[in-house]
């Protein structure tokens, strides 16, 4: 069992029979004498992907989820679904199209990920913080571009479209932040 003092971002707890990943924790000190400290949490249900909020009293206890993280690898896309492999036991998991669609712009065959398993069932795929992708299409390099923060649109090899600096050309490898899909730097 976990106590509210154990709560931190990234912890997986069990609420209403489902694994829930804590996204944010805020401790609210009491304003009146005798009042309890409150712990506000924002969490994501890993089965429904729903983001919810719940307030606990300081000292409340919650169950640990039967949740394990394993190193994994993206193998291939199959008709809109993604196939991943657990690198510890080589078991393969299929992710349905609606859950795979937000991940696919950041995945190339062989990309290493973290697989979240609840009761031996895949419920979560964590992407690396950054991925390296190749620019597939963009307008030509702008000559005499000013030093202001101009950008241009580029499409990457996975189909992801994002804004990049004007000096990038087709074929260059870049680093992309998987949390918000923005350009970080040349690779």
CATH number at residue 16: 2.30.30.30
CATH label of the domain that carries residue 145: 2.40.50.140
**79 and 102 co-located in one domain:** yes
Six token digits for residue 134 = 């190749």
Residue 178's domain spans which residues?
130-186
**118 and 135 co-located in one domain:** no
Give the model's pLDDT for residue 161. Answer: 94
Q: Write out pLDDT tens, residues 91-120.
A: 999 999 988 999 999 999 999 999 999 998
**136 and 115 co-located in one domain:** no
Q: How confident is the model at residue 45 (pLDDT cuts 50, 70, 90)?
A: very high
The per-residue DSSP string of the chain comes to -EEGGG--TT-EEEETTEEEEEEEEEEE--SSTTPPPEEEEEEEETTT--EEEEEEETT-EEEEP-EEEEEEEEEEEETTEEEEEETTT--EEEE-HHHHTTTGGG--TT-EEEEEEETTEEEEEEPPSEEEEEEEEEPPPPTT--SS---EEEEETTS-EEEE-TT--TT-EEEEETTTTEEEEE-
**166 and 177 co-located in one domain:** yes
**122 and 140 co-located in one domain:** no
Evaluate the CA torsion angle 13, 19, 24, 28 in order and state its sign: negative
Give the model's pLDDT for residue 9. Answer: 92
Which of 77, 105, 126 terminates a domain? The answer is 126
**6 and 26 co-located in one domain:** yes
Q: Write out pLDDT tens, residues 123-175.
A: 999 999 999 999 999 988 766 655 566 888 999 999 999 999 888 899 999 99
* Number of domains into which the chain is organized: 3
**167 and 178 co-located in one domain:** yes
Which of 22, 38, 64 terminates a domain? The answer is 64
**44 and 76 co-located in one domain:** no
- Report whether pLDDT(13) > 70: yes
Residue in 57, 28, 54 with CA at minimum distance from that of residue 43: 54
């Amino acid at each position: 069992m976990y106590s509210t003092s154990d709560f931190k971002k990234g912890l997986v707890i069990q609420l209403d029979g489902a694994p829930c990943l804590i996204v944010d924790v805020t401790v609210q000190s009491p304003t009146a004498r005798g009042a309890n400290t409150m712990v506000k949490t924002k969490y994501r249900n890993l089965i429904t992907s729903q983001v919810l909020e719940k307030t606990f009293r300081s000292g409340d206890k919650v169950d640990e989820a039967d949740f394990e993280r394993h190193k994994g690898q993206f193998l291939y896309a199959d008709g809109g679904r993604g196939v991943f492999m657990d690198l510890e036991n080589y078991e393969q998991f299929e992710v349905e199209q609606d859950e795979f669609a937000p991940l696919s712009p950041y995945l190339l065959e062989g990309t290493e990920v973290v697989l979240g398993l609840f009761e031996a069932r895949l419920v979560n795929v964590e992407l690396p913080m950054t991925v390296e992708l190749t620019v597939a299409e963009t307008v030509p390099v702008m000559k005499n571009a000013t030093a202001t923060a101009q950008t241009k649109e580029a499409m990457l090899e996975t189909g992801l479209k994002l804004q990049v600096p004007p000096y990038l050309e087709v074929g260059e490898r870049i680093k992309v932040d998987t949390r918000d899909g923005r350009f970080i730097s040349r690779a």
